[in-house]
Amino acid sequence: MSTNSELMARRGAAIPRGVSNTHPIFAAHAENSTLWDVEGKKYIDFAGGIAVLNTGHRHPKVMAAVAEQLSHFSHTCFQVAPYENYITLAERLNAMAPIEGPAKTIFFTTGAEALENAIKLARAATGRPGVITFAGGYHGRTLLTMAMTGKVLPYKKKFAPLPSEVYHVPFPHHTFGVTVQESLRYIDMLFRADIEPTRTAAIVLEPIQGEGGFLQAPEALLLGLRKICDEHGILLVIDEVQTGFARTGKMFAIEHSVVKPDIMTIAKSLAGGFPLSGVIGRADIMDAAEPGGLGGTYAGSPIAIAAALAVLDVIEEEKLVERANHLGARMKSRLEAIARRNDTAPIADIRGPGAMVAFDLVKTRGTFEPDPDAAKRVLAKAREHGLILLSCGVYGNAIRLLMPLTIPDEQLDEGLDILETALTL
């Protein structure tokens, strides 16, 4: 059997360097919250495929649903010969989504594809081109979603020119020195300096920035955006790609707020590891596109749809919304204890609702001066001890914890033990 180093050499020769690898290990097998590499080493998975595996690797109910679907057919293309489970999943999501009034759902394959189509729908419904997003936000790597993403490195370098009519405003957070009032005032400045509200189709944001560092949008910001949208006929688009499906202690992160979006994008943990995304929105908006204007050859794969229906069952049956809150409380308590130690790397700003938890590595205790090099060292040391972690944040100094919500308490504690070891100086 090949070793990790041998496979990395082959990977370097065969695959472009533009797709990076956080960890130089190659997966051979995975079960729930555990992954084994090709050399047989065991890892506790605190990454979950970047928030894709809320129901764990290879959940038996999801695998059974996929096997059942495969016994019938794997693909027809929904636009050619539709299938009932597509409708069933749309009906379930329409009923649970925090959308005002009747809702409709369409399925795609990736999160970026969902965002692209959300903007297509917003433009079709409003007849306007402009899109406003936030600094630090992440929406994908396609040309339009790169333009929407509020981070240059590594996402935009060398790829200009990007699509026009996309504007960014500062995201309010104390580490940036930006208040909610300043963010909202910046939108008003955009309306006076760059694009009038009557040419703005949508304001798009993540209720909790994912790649941006697990920064939660304040309620005052969401209320302010809803007010601006209502006053000017702009659509509020909430990107739930990373935050959805029980991760934050709610089915959707926007449910921590009283604000209701016009459109939501979903993906990642929707289908338990199978590629599936979607757009949920007000029925009148979702019907704005002409027949044939939306779709895709693999959009709404019947295999992924079957997996997603099983995922929704697992979330309900195993009470994963409540489980996320339990895991989050356990993680935060442990991290707060680590932060009080004097022999660990300085950490700050332990945050996040439910099990969407992150913290910052800083150069000096009591400050917010980012230390991205420390984050790299922690990831490497944790991996050596059998724990897979991810970093994130505008400065690359945040550690985010995204273990499956199905992880046993004992394995969670074991992973946190390794994390503490990795943080020890």
> In this predicted model, what pLDDT tens digit does every residue of 338-382 receive, in sequence order?
999 999 999 999 999 999 999 999 999 988 899 999 999 999 999
Given this model, what pLDDT does residue 153 score? 86
Query: Which pLDDT belongs to residue 141?
Result: 96
Q: Which tens digit of pLDDT belongs to each residue from 134-172?
A: 999 999 999 999 999 998 889 999 999 999 999 999 999
Q: Which residues on adjacent β-strands are paired with residue 122? A: none
What are the residue ranges spanned by the domains of the chain?
Answer: 4-55+319-423, 63-317
Question: What pLDDT, on the 0 to 100 scale, is given for residue 366?
Answer: 85
* Spatial separation of the C-alpha atoms in residues 28 and 38, rounded to whole Å: 5
In this predicted structure, the answer to whether residue 57 has a pLDDT above a threshold of 90 is yes
Report which residue type is found at 110: T
Q: Greater confidence, 1 or 242?
A: 242
Give 186-219 pLDDT, tens digit per residue.
Answer: 999 999 999 999 999 999 999 999 999 999 999 9
| Residue 133: partners with Cβ closer than 8 Å, 6 or more residues away | 139, 148, 149, 150, 166, 167, 168, 169, 203, 204, 205
Question: What number does CATH give the domain 4-55+319-423?
Answer: 3.90.1150.10
What's the pLDDT score for residue 1? 77
Q: What is the CATH number of domain 63-317?
A: 3.40.640.10
Judged against a pLDDT cut of 90, whether residue 175 lies above it is answered with: no
Per-residue pLDDT, 404: 98
For 155-211, give the DSSP string. Answer: TTTT-PSPPSSEEEEPPPBGGGTB-HHHHHHHHHHHHHHT--GGGEEEEEE-SEETT
State the chain's mean pLDDT as an integer: 97
